[in-house]
Structure 1
Amino acid sequence: MRISAEEITVGKLLPETVELAVNLIKTNGYVLFEGVLPKEQVENLNNKFGDMLESYMKERNLNPNDGFHNGTNHVGMDLPFEEPFCDESIIAHPFVTDVVDQILGDDCVLNYFHTNTSVQGGKTPQDVHADTGSRYGNRCEVNLPIINLVVNFPLVEVTENNGPMEVWPGGTHLHPDNWYGPNAYDKSKLAEHMHSFKALMPAGSIMIRDDRMWHRGTPNQSQQPRTNIALIYKSAANAPQNGSISIPQETYDNLSEKAKRLLRNEKIGSPVKREYKLEQYAK
């Protein structure tokens, strides 16, 4: 979906836009708002994250030329809850919260603050998968309501060449609960005979998706990482009471009331947690 210039300027979706987006997620498994974040903000996010990614990979001896993670060259790492990543336009963007609240209820929470990066040099795609398991193992043979919404912010333009996410929309999120369990039929085998497409999008877009929609990462054949912020919003009734995001008290106190409520179950008062050594990051 292309958001109107008026909506971008005022920072508020029109009611009819929200209604369409909600129904696209319910019917097709996802919605994509193209080119929402300002170019300067996206470039700053990508530059800051690029430094962190470099340190993270060096510490773990992840060499793109050698290949890693079964040849996918895929890196997932938690973000530190600090600027510029914890900006309200990321954790509580009004375009996102308007849609999320309609689906999960306005008492939902944010409990995942992460990144997914396709690093150059990958040779193989990921297996086709959903980002969740079944709620009731093999017992439930009906589709259940959405309880998790994944929100992705690409920090570079996603092209055919730099490892776009391949998606199988239009119903893969609407299967019975036991289709997401450990004994379900191999999704990769089924996916070979199903329609899919690669989700190409400008930097600074916003993708909101049901975490049950089938997808996979593809090899990055460019010369630069394809960086992407990944958040998960969860219905409050299904959310863990003890979160994992470490948020300093002062940072939390300076958030809006909306953001505070979204993060109320996290580790408030804990120092920022980093997955890299600070002295390597400080150049």
Structure 2
Amino acid sequence: MSPMMDDTAPAPQYSEGALIPNIDQKGDNPITIRLTDRERDSGLTDPATLQQLLYAYHRDGFVVLDNAIPDELTDKLYDRIVADTDIYIGKSFQQWNQGEATKNVSVVPPLSRDWLMREFYANVHMMRVIEHLLGPQPELRFLNSNVALPGATGRQAVHSDVNHAFPPIPFGIVVNTYLQDSGPENGVTEIWCGSHDAYGRDEQQVQKESGWIRKECIQAQAKVRKPVQPRVRKGSMLFRDLRLWHAGMPNRGEKARVMLAIDYFAAWYKCPMRLKLPSSAKSKVESWGISTVGIEWVDGEIDHLDQPFFLNMTQDPEMYIKQTPKGVEDWRARATGKYEFDKGIPSDQNWWTPE
């Protein structure tokens, strides 16, 4: 999937031996780069586009790629996931992310062959970025969505998705694709650019069992770069290092805010998490040219709304967490029978307060 330039691309220009990127780029915290319609429709990523995406990601641990998916596809998947959410929140194992006040829930998208669309899960432009960051044959191991429902009265704590002894280099990337125009008014995620390598794991986290960030680190990092809620258009892909601080924010709008969460891991990392997909989709997914070693093929169709949330971003197969009717089960619950995961109630000690 190496990047190519077609004959209609602008002639490159240089300054002191360096390429001057001729791209549609805006913002600095974070950087948003817009694909041209020519790039999107041809599947050919200009080298200048790729260079700037990689630069922003390494600097910030985060970058936005705009105009990645046609509107008609995002609208179709948005409507389906919103309808599915009404069913999912009635499941006995369903848990709100960091408490009911957030009205934030993870909902597995439809997993049938027709709904597994390459544009979302192995987008050619997306894969070029991921391959250059994680190395050859990055592994698809997690496929989910995050829904922020209207009526939230609370927000999430600033946190990182990983709280284990992770390596100090990029090893996993989550791609959040927004299925509607989003901003602060409807709960776009709060992002802390540059936080992915600002502090060591033990220094930054409240406790080893939680990815929540210490108040003193939050206040100090805000003096370097303040948190932001970027405004993104539907069809945008947000590349986020798994180490990056972020927080789900309340949706003050009238409609659900939906974003996909697609996780790829470096092949050398050997993540033990497995993604279940129907065997009927195997040939289609394999035609995408991605690594499928993290996929378990299942006979028959999969009821995606009957799949309790399951996660393991560590390198240890026994460190998984999963939803149950008793609560979120982690290694402590399996050892003691006490379901204590994510029971904290976020307060102003868990997010930035201007001094």
What TM-score results when the alignment is normalised by the length of structure 1?
0.85
Report deviation, 1:101: 0.3
Report deviation, 1:85: 3.9
Q: What is the one-letter code of the residue matched to 2:141? A: N
Corresponding residue for residue 44 of structure 2: 12
Structure 1 residue corresponding to 2:241, chosen from 183, 187, 210: 210
Structure 2 residue corresponding to 1:127, chosen from 151, 157, 161: 157
Q: Distance in 2 between the 1:170 and 1:242 partners?
A: 27
Structure 2 residue corresponding to 1:147, chosen from 146, 166, 171: 171
Structure 1 residue corresponding to 2:291, chosen from 246, 262, 265: 262
Pick the structure with greater CA Rg.
2
Q: Distance in 1 between the 2:85 and 2:55 partners?
A: 36
8 Å CA contact 1:246, 1:272 repeated in 2: no
For residues 218 and 175 of structure 1, do their structure 2 counterparts lie closer, same or farther at Cα, with a shift above 3 Å needed? Answer: same
Report deviation, 1:166: 0.6
Tell me, what secondary structure is at the counterpart of 1:97? Answer: helix
Q: Distance in 1 between the 2:87 and 2:142 partners?
A: 22
Q: Distance in 2 between the 1:224 and 1:128 partners?
A: 24
Report deviation, 1:188: 4.4
Q: Distance in 2 between the 1:270 and 1:242 partners?
A: 19
8 Å CA contact 2:141, 2:264 repeated in 1: yes
Report deviation, 1:192: 4.3
* Mapping of residues 242-261 of structure 1, within 5 Å: 243=274, 245-259=275-289, 261=290
Q: Does 1:25 align with 2:54?
A: no
Higher relative contact order (CA 8 A, sep 6+): 1
Range with greater deviation from structure 2 (42-51 or 15-24)? 15-24
Q: Distance in 2 between the 1:54 and 1:85 partners?
A: 19
Q: Does 1:115 align with 2:139?
A: no
* Mapping of residues 9-158 of structure 1, within 5 Å: 9-60=41-92, 69-83=99-113, 85-135=115-165, 144-158=168-182
Report deviation, 1:191: 2.5
Q: Gapped runs of 5+ residues in structure 2?
A: 1-32, 307-355
What TM-score results when the alignment is normalised by the length of structure 2?
0.68
8 Å CA contact 2:102, 2:153 repeated in 1: yes
Identity of aligned residues (%): 18
Q: Distance in 2 between the 1:168 and 1:84 partners?
A: 36
Corresponding residue for residue 139 of structure 1: none
Q: Distance in 2 between the 1:189 and 1:83 partners?
A: 47
- 1:57-89 superposed Cα distances (whole Å, 9 cap, x missing partner): 233598x9xx99241110012234225541111
8 Å CA contact 2:141, 2:273 repeated in 1: no
Q: Distance in 2 between the 1:81 and 1:180 partners?
A: 36
Q: Does 1:165 align with 2:197?
A: no
Aligned residues: 268
Q: What is the one-letter code of the residue matched to 1:82? A: S
For residues 4 and 83 of structure 1, do their structure 2 counterparts lie closer, same or farther at Cα, with a shift above 3 Å needed? Answer: same
8 Å CA contact 2:204, 2:213 repeated in 1: no
Q: Distance in 2 between the 1:83 and 1:258 partners?
A: 13
Q: Distance in 2 between the 1:207 and 1:159 partners?
A: 13
